[in-house]
Structure 1
Amino acid sequence: MTARTSPLIPVLMLICTVTITVLSAGCTATADPGPVRIGVLLPASGPLATHSIEGLAWAVDALNRHGGVDGRAIELVYRDTSAGNISGYAEELAGREDIDVIIGPATSAELVRIAPLVTERGKILISPSATSGLVTAEYRENELVWRTCSADGEQLKAIFGTLRDTGVRNVSLVAANTTYGETFARLAPAAAAMTGVRLTGTTIVEVSDNFTEVAARIGEEGPDMVVAAVYPEEAAGIADALAATGSPAGLFLTDAARSPYLIESLGERAEGIRGTSLSSDPSTGYAIAYEEVFGEAPPAFAAQTYDALLLAVYTAARQEAAPKESPAASLRRVVSGDGIVKGWDPQEASEAATMIRAGARPSVTGASGPLRFGEHSSAGPLAGYYTRWTVEGGEFCENTPVASADVTPRLPGLSSPGAAGDGPVIWMVYPLAKGDRSFADTAYRGLFRAQESYDFTKREFSYDDLALLDAVFAARNFTEKPDLVITEGFQFADASRAWAETNPDIRFFTLEQANYGLPNACDAVMVPYGASYLAGVMAANMTETGRIGAIAGAPVAVIDPFVEGFRAGAAAYDPSVNVTVRYVGESFEGFGMPERAGAIARDLRREGVDVVLMIAGSSNTGIVDAARETSDVYLIGEDTDQSYLAPNLVVASVVKEIDAIVYHAAAGEVDGTFTPGQEVWTLENGGTGLFVSPRFSEYGWVAADWQERAVAAEKDYLGTAAV
């Protein structure tokens, strides 16, 4: 991640304290017991700066806008560990009477160094990134040491499982001579044996070592892959040494090495390096929100750092309710809640803090997943998410994160009456849980963007909640009655009609369903025919085999304009080009079967197809994985710019401006401009389009030269097709 210019950073660097004192309306000076102060010991610069101090500052600002902790402002007391003595900082913060919780440090070695300084004062230490298994052993009985990251034993399982699945049989391990590296050196033999991978040898290194000699020793072992459990500086040295010695082995890095420093140091030499790292829970939408706020993907430990803040805030709320309880007991109670589910975002977190302050026990989830812990807090959460990444086009490109243990995505639940703010209540109903990197995620992007602009209370549901919603709307038995309900996808066509007819006092905004002709319903139809026509022109121009294809989730009506437009565009450009269309499934399930989609992609490649339009929702990730295996198939994404999936392969995307439409629906409810009927969004009016990745800007001519013909073809299509 390249450092982003922000007005917050100069404040952090100059005075080392983030202080946001925006109090909720109605609070008076006499009622304010003072801010809730939370210590932070994390680096702001250097190779280990992957926690997002900016993200913490934004979270504090947003939480304070929602009222802080029962009207008390939240304040971060930040010390930059990359610019000073961490032990001295730890002693300082732990010695303050107004700080009960400290977030940090960055590494396991630092944790071992400062934990006694913090916990001997009775203060809680929560590290978002000290992943060594030795921390668990060292502080097994210390109830004041917590982690929001999973221990490295789970990461080793993910690494060796990934390598086995991709055909790697022989691995050489390089581990840093640190507490972190020691965990990998100790646990790797068992993890390799469990997966049937042969460990050829283990080398312990320090940053000052001669890596050319290290690479030579590795070469004698003859591994297929070098797994390096090191920090970014060592990783860069190892990568260069392997290349210099002509080693054919690939390089696979652990989470500690994933840093902008790696790419900045190696440049193009970083291409193709692979690795794994902790991730946010994709079903929460945290990564989408972060990108909306900061214009870039969150760094490696941003979600875990955000969750450390949540735990600190919730502990403070519990302390308000039970001041005689120890901070450790308060935090243990917080993570043992079994009530209504509350999510990570500032609205949900503020509601959770209010409930905890009132003595309730919500089930809290964070940006990284459920905040559930076992008996020993130092072991970290019971489940975390890992993502595999590859450096492509100078970026860390991730696959869909997977959980280290069984986790069922759970959207936050409704609150008790009166929890909503002054604005309207808007319900968003997705076709599936967030994390599809397509339809649902794009809708959430628009919803989050609206929340950043307007005052309203949002609630989220998915297709899994259909039975519950049917019952609530039929009985009109609302805990919180919505003012507007947005439903996304053809799956809800019958349900939306029934709900709207039964509840004439609630407005319904539907996406791609039907014009119900009701005074309280508006349907937005996005017709991607013209944009897909342009994609067909591009694909017909790009193909070297004369064979292009489309892989769709299912043969359903919403897919038809994609397929028909793609066929028509290709035929218009070159009638000799062959277009093959394959479907992942027969119905809705086909949009969530990435392995099946990958198998179809491999079949198409064997048949000579070298350009593929992906219109299969979350199944698209399987298509991308298959394309990476040969790197000679170009891809066209759907719904949103999907070039981040594989920058070197995804040339363009047929985009539906779902985020803009959801934002428009929320804004219409807030400002009172809701209009019933049908809205048709097309290539002509900007509701759809072909987004060409900047890496393939040479194809900008497609829209410039073929736009008018695509619009005309789309009008002809609309004249005969039902929308």
Structure 2
Amino acid sequence: MKKRKFGLALSLVLAAGTILGACGNKEEEQGGGDGASKEEANIKVGLVTDTGGVDDKSFNQSAWEGLKKFGEEFGLKEGEGYRYLQSEKEADYIPNLGQFADGGFDVTFAAGFLLEDAVQTSAEQNTSANFALIDSLLANADGETVWLDNVSNVTFDEHTGSFLVGVIAAKTTTKKKVGFVGGVDSPLIKKFENGFKAGVKSVDPTIEIVTQYAGDFNKPENGTSIASTMYTGGADIIYHAAGGTGNGVFTEAKNRKANGEDVWVIGVDRDQHEEGMPENVTLTSMVKRVDNAVYEISKMAKEGNFPGGKETVFGLKEEGVGIAPTTENVSQEALDLVEEYKQKILSGEIEVPKTDEEFEAFEASL
């Protein structure tokens, strides 16, 4: 079936002070906001997290921040008009999605490609309920895209944002060796890896890049172990795309910096500058504006324009991906080069690779 794409411009406004430290079990309802003197919206929106939890400091947390921003702006009561359910295990996905559908929620967001099968099952069973799958497209057993009118498919050009932080890594490394830690080896996370490697190699093809996958998005101890091996092996910068597992990368980097080692972490999905404190180990982050995507899709649904049966792509042009606003540890030379490469990507002069095969061809062309 021919793929349909739906473009969407994003807002540049960054909501400050919305970081949520809440946690709890998957059945927990959140306390209410006052919603005073704000426009009221007759809509209910929900979020189902993957097993990383809503306070993963990364993907899920960003999604919740976007939902929270929407709810507060339009006067919804937290826990009633908008709320989340945490998935402790894969078996929780369908019951959690079904709970929102049965509760009359107008849109239920599924945070991450791991919920793809659960969303398809739930959408087919609840045809009057709308779902928004973040980070993936529905597919059948043959890998062909499946379009359902009650499912909005939200994707990002993670490879282009990863390219830009790769440029920063290449301009910053003093050991000419950097690392990449992925969560689950999948086509999605391969986009992060290959975009990052392409950015590094575009600046300096002689830089060595080591990669490893943790096999999980919620195992910080795995992140710590992998980071320890990489830093010990000579890498001085590690880019992680591993959700909660990436928290372990920060732990290892902070311990080493406290002992005098000059090492860095590149964060993912949201500005992870604070995760590197107090040792200040966050070089930069590849921000993936999941919060903006959740906010914008919610707003469209409120206005009666839910983009069901379509793919909504958030890329560099839509400012859905890029480098974090915190740049205190990045040289001006690196920032200038990032802007130069960004324009080349936007103009089509550079086509950033997504897959291993595309990266091999890209590297061979340098």
Specify if TM > 0.5. yes
Aligned residue in 1 for 2:188: 558
702 and 471 in structure 1: CA distance in 2 versus 1, 3 angstrom threshold: same
8 Å CA contact retained: 1:454, 1:667: no
1:472 & 1:547 partners in 2: Cα distance? Answer: 43
8 Å CA contact retained: 2:67, 2:295: yes
Deviations 1:173-230 (A, max 9, x none): xxxxxxxxxxxxxxxxxxxxxxxxxxxxxxxxxxxxxxxxxxxxxxxxxxxxxxxxxx
Q: What code does the residue aligned with 2:17 have?
A: G
Higher helix residue share: 1
Shift of 1:574: 0.7
496 and 620 in structure 1: CA distance in 2 versus 1, 3 angstrom threshold: same
What pairs up with 1:159-308 in 2 under 5 angstroms?
295=17
Shift of 1:654: 0.7
Match of 2:326 among 687, 693, 699: 693
Aligned residue in 2 for 1:636: 266
Q: What code does the residue aligned with 1:506 have?
A: A
Deviations 1:676-702 (A, max 9, x none): 210111123211112252312523213
Aligned residue in 2 for 1:439: 59
Shift of 1:477: 8.4
714 and 556 in structure 1: CA distance in 2 versus 1, 3 angstrom threshold: farther
1:572 aligns with 2:196: no
8 Å CA contact retained: 1:594, 1:623: yes
Shift of 1:611: 1.0
597 and 468 in structure 1: CA distance in 2 versus 1, 3 angstrom threshold: closer
Q: What code does the residue aligned with 1:673 have?
A: N
499 and 642 in structure 1: CA distance in 2 versus 1, 3 angstrom threshold: same
8 Å CA contact retained: 2:47, 2:108: yes
Aligned residue in 1 for 2:245: 619
2:181 & 2:99 partners in 1: Cα distance? Answer: 41
1:662 aligns with 2:294: yes
Deviations 1:80-105 (A, max 9, x none): xxxxxxxxxxxxxxxxxxxxxxxxxx
503 and 553 in structure 1: CA distance in 2 versus 1, 3 angstrom threshold: same
Aligned residue in 1 for 2:85: 461
296 and 446 in structure 1: CA distance in 2 versus 1, 3 angstrom threshold: closer
1:344 aligns with 2:31: yes
Q: What code does the residue aligned with 1:643 have?
A: H
What pairs up with 1:147-158 in 2 under 5 angstroms?
none
Matched residues, percent identical?
23
Q: What code does the residue aligned with 2:31 have?
A: W
Q: TM-score, normalised by structure 2?
A: 0.77
**Relative contact order: is structure 1 or structure 2 higher (C-alpha 8 Å, sep ≥ 6)?**
2
Deviations 1:253-286 (A, max 9, x none): xxxxxxxxxxxxxxxxxxxxxxxxxxxxxxxxxx
SS at match of 2:210: strand
Gaps of 5+ in 2: 1-13, 139-145, 359-366
1:476 & 1:603 partners in 2: Cα distance? Answer: 43
Match of 2:227 among 587, 601, 608: 601
RMSD over aligned Cα, in angstroms? 3.0
Deviations 1:336-357 (A, max 9, x none): xxxx854334379xxxxxxxxx
Shift of 1:430: 1.0
526 and 713 in structure 1: CA distance in 2 versus 1, 3 angstrom threshold: farther
SS at match of 1:550: strand
What pairs up with 1:346-365 in 2 under 5 angstroms?
346=33
437 and 615 in structure 1: CA distance in 2 versus 1, 3 angstrom threshold: same
Deviations 1:308-359 (A, max 9, x none): xxxxxxxxxxxxxxxxxxxxxxxxxxxxxxxx854334379xxxxxxxxxxx
Aligned residue in 2 for 1:671: 303
- Higher Rg of the two aligned structures: 1
SS at match of 1:695: coil
Aligned residue in 1 for 2:142: none
Gaps of 5+ in 1: 1-290, 304-339, 349-420
8 Å CA contact retained: 1:595, 1:619: yes
Q: TM-score, normalised by structure 1?
A: 0.40
610 and 710 in structure 1: CA distance in 2 versus 1, 3 angstrom threshold: farther
2:101 & 2:156 partners in 1: Cα distance? Answer: 33
Match of 2:162 among 494, 508, 532: 532
8 Å CA contact retained: 1:692, 1:700: no
Q: What code does the residue aligned with 1:685 have?
A: E
578 and 428 in structure 1: CA distance in 2 versus 1, 3 angstrom threshold: same
Q: What code does the residue aligned with 2:62 have?
A: T
Q: What code does the residue aligned with 2:180 have?
A: A
8 Å CA contact retained: 2:264, 2:282: yes
Corresponding pairs, count:
314
Shift of 1:484: 1.3
2:292 & 2:132 partners in 1: Cα distance? Answer: 13
